[in-house]
Amino acid sequence: MKKAILIVLAAFFSLSATAYDFMVDGLCYLCYDDSTVMVTCQNPDTYMPAYSSLSGDLFIPSSVTYDGKTYSVLYIDLGAFYLCSDLTSVTIPNTVTAIYESAFEGCTSLTSVIIGESVTEIAERAFYDCSSLASITIPNSVAIIGRDALYGTAWYDNQPEGLVYAGLVAYKYKGIMPDNTSITLRSDTKGISPYAFSNSRGLISLAIPDSVSTIGDHAFNECINLASLGIGNSVVSIGDNAFNMCKALQSVNIPNSVVTIGNHAFSNCDNLTSLSIGNSVTTIGAGTFAYCPGLTSVTIPNSVTTIGRLAFNSCSSLASITIPNSVSAMGGQVFDGTPWYDNQPEGLVYAGMVAYKYKGVMPDNTSIVLREGTTGIAGGTFKDCYGLVSVTIPNSVKVISSSFQNCQCLIEIRSKIVDIESVTMVVGAFTRVPTSVCVVRVPIGTSAAYRRADQWRYFTNIIEDEEMGFLPGDVDGNGNVDGNDLNMLINIILGKLDAADASVVGNPNVDGIGDVDGADINILINILLGK
């Protein structure tokens, strides 16, 4: 079985690896940027065997010189020393900051590893199946250790049952946890590895200290009796499925330090009734709080910009939701199956300033004008709306998700978005829209940008229309920004030309804020200078 796994990994590596840039003293290097490199594999096409000539002690250099230029060694690449079965020891320098996935996997003769004091991450399976590895020095700088990074090593096999630490990282609970176990992590703990406590059904109480910055994927997945949870005030990210199916949890306080909450992080928490989300969170992942039937009210802080697909789906008691205007990216079916959504009238439903979903059956020959200030169009907003023939999109939209799937009768899009290249487009936004028939009307001077932009470039008929607006700085409305626009703008500010004059057909308010003033001149000059 183990041999089969290794063969599958080898096939994976051959598809994902990149050939090295140069070789020095028997090691291959891939340039990361102009001054740094990563140590990479010698045989990226086969990985069987890798570095067959390497044996004994390996000292990875902190820098390497090639063709007269010196590079700092920053990373150990994915699979770099995969299956180097004759290596006996490895020393990694202080310049290295990360050891990537499977970097030393299958080095069965490796007995000793010294890791430099700048490494912050040891990725999944990095030393997996290094069966002779009994001594490994993990510095305090390491905050992330991936799943199975040290599994199958003599070092791990020799650890006593219970919570195993690797450096300052809570790596894995070894063995079966006794019933009614309460755990307070050490006060110097920096991270919690993926799957560290997964399926530890004896865990009833957990205290995470302020020193922890990262909670890994699946770290407490299916800890079904975990009833008391304290998350420290330094946690920045909570991984995917971190507390999925923690069915006994009743209250969760996500501190202000947290920026990202991963996919399904708290899904299927059947008894969760109290939820507080800190004001630094920017991303709520897909399905993060899905299937939490006890939640009745949620306030999303103003820091949040992205809510993933199904994030609160099937929260069957969730009747009150506060969604800030900061949210612009939203996946599909985020609030479906909640009383909040069920109580919305038929027609286009908004979630904050995001066009969320058209509820009910759309009549034939329907034209939709999204309201001014709309920041995003959620995934599936108009999916299968066969009655939609025209939609008007305001300039305020910053994100368009997979919003118009299967709108087969859509024949006109009126887009007022001026800077289309700054808009985030999710793959599949216009799936099965008749792009060869649908006319896209865009602001004067922007058609070339639309024809370059992701997904818009598939439309055959992109037409400039002054009703949609003008390119920023195009004061005279001729589709170009040049010295004439600057002269006109200066004359308007000096009172020598009225903004309502017939010759001013574009938009002299370049920054779109307040009155036409000196700030508009500064921006226009920067446009002309290419800044």
pLDDT value, residue 336:
98
pLDDT value, residue 503:
67
- Is 80 exceeded by the pLDDT of residue 447? yes
Separation of alpha carbons 252 and 256, rounded Å: 13
Percent of the chain whose pLDDT exceeds 90 = 81
Going by pLDDT thresholds of 50, 70 and 90, the confidence category of residue 502 is low
Give 31-60 as a DSSP string: ESSSSEEEEE-S-TTT-SSSSTT--EEEE-
Positions of E strands within 69-116? 69-76, 87-91, 98-99, 112-114
Range list for CATH 1.10.1330.10 in the chain: 470-531
CA atoms lying within 13 Å on the CB side of residue 223: 33
In this prediction, residues 263-292 reach a mean pLDDT of 97
Residue-averaged pLDDT of the chain: 92
Separation of alpha carbons 394 and 415, rounded Å: 6
Tell me whether strands 121-122 and 274-277 are parallel, antiparallel or unpaired.
unpaired
Spell out the residues 6+ positions from residue 492 whose beta carbon is closer than 8 angstroms to its own: 475, 498, 499, 504, 508, 516
In this prediction, residues 17-38 reach a mean pLDDT of 88
Going by pLDDT thresholds of 50, 70 and 90, the confidence category of residue 295 is very high
Describe the strand order of the beta sheet including 181-184 as a list of residue ranges: 181-184, 203-207, 228-230
Going by pLDDT thresholds of 50, 70 and 90, the confidence category of residue 50 is low
Beta carbons of 196 and 173 less than 8 angstroms apart:
yes
Amino acid at 249: L
Encoded tokens for 178: 């006794």
Q: Higher pLDDT residue, 53 or 499?
A: 53
Provide Rg for the chain, Cα atoms. Answer: 28
One of 2.60.40.10, 1.10.1330.10, 3.90.550.10, 3.30.70.100 is the CATH number of 470-531, namely 1.10.1330.10
Separation of alpha carbons 298 and 278, rounded Å: 12
- Is 60 exceeded by the pLDDT of residue 388? yes
In this prediction, residues 289-317 reach a mean pLDDT of 98
- Is 80 exceeded by the pLDDT of residue 6? no
Q: Running DSSP on this structure, what letter comes out for residue 291?
A: T
pLDDT value, residue 11:
42
Task: Please state, in angstroms and as integers, the Cα–Cα distance from residue 237 to each residue in 65, 191, 232, 262, 321, following that order.
Answer: 38, 10, 11, 8, 23
pLDDT value, residue 16:
42
Separation of alpha carbons 439 and 455, rounded Å: 14
CATH class of the domain defined by 1-158: alpha beta
Top-ranked range on mean pLDDT: pick from 2-6, 13-17, 107-111: 107-111
In this prediction, residues 106-116 reach a mean pLDDT of 97
Tell me whether strands 260-261 and 237-238 are parallel, antiparallel or unpaired.
parallel
- Is 60 exceeded by the pLDDT of residue 209? yes
pTM tops 0.75: yes
Q: Which of 286, 385, 289, 296 is nearest to 330 (CA)?
A: 286
pLDDT value, residue 499:
65
Separation of alpha carbons 328 and 398, rounded Å: 7
- Is 80 exceeded by the pLDDT of residue 510? no
In this prediction, residues 124-138 reach a mean pLDDT of 97
Range list for CATH 3.40.50.12480 in the chain: 349-469
Burial-class residue 15 by CB neighbours within 10 Å (0-12, 13-18, 19+).
Answer: exposed
pLDDT value, residue 497:
78
Range list for CATH 3.80.10.10 in the chain: 1-158
In this prediction, residues 425-441 reach a mean pLDDT of 96
pLDDT value, residue 49:
54
In this prediction, residues 213-224 reach a mean pLDDT of 98
Q: Which of 45, 109, 107 is nearest to 76 (CA)?
A: 107
- Fold held by 349-469: Rossmann fold (3.40.50)
In this prediction, residues 198-216 reach a mean pLDDT of 97
In this prediction, residues 76-103 reach a mean pLDDT of 95
- Is 90 exceeded by the pLDDT of residue 204? yes
Tell me whether strands 169-174 and 162-166 are parallel, antiparallel or unpaired.
antiparallel
Q: Higher pLDDT residue, 452 or 1?
A: 452
Beta carbons of 438 and 461 less than 8 angstroms apart:
yes
Q: Higher pLDDT residue, 501 or 287?
A: 287
Going by pLDDT thresholds of 50, 70 and 90, the confidence category of residue 20 is confident
pLDDT value, residue 17:
44
Tell me whether strands 306-307 and 412-415 are parallel, antiparallel or unpaired.
unpaired
Q: What are phi and psi of 88, to 5 degrees?
A: -115, -25
Q: pLDDT tens digit string along 328-381?
A: 999 999 999 999 999 999 999 999 999 999 999 999 999 999 999 999 999 999
Give 457-493 as a DSSP string: GG-SEEEE-GGG-B-TT-TT-SS--SHHHHHHHHHHH
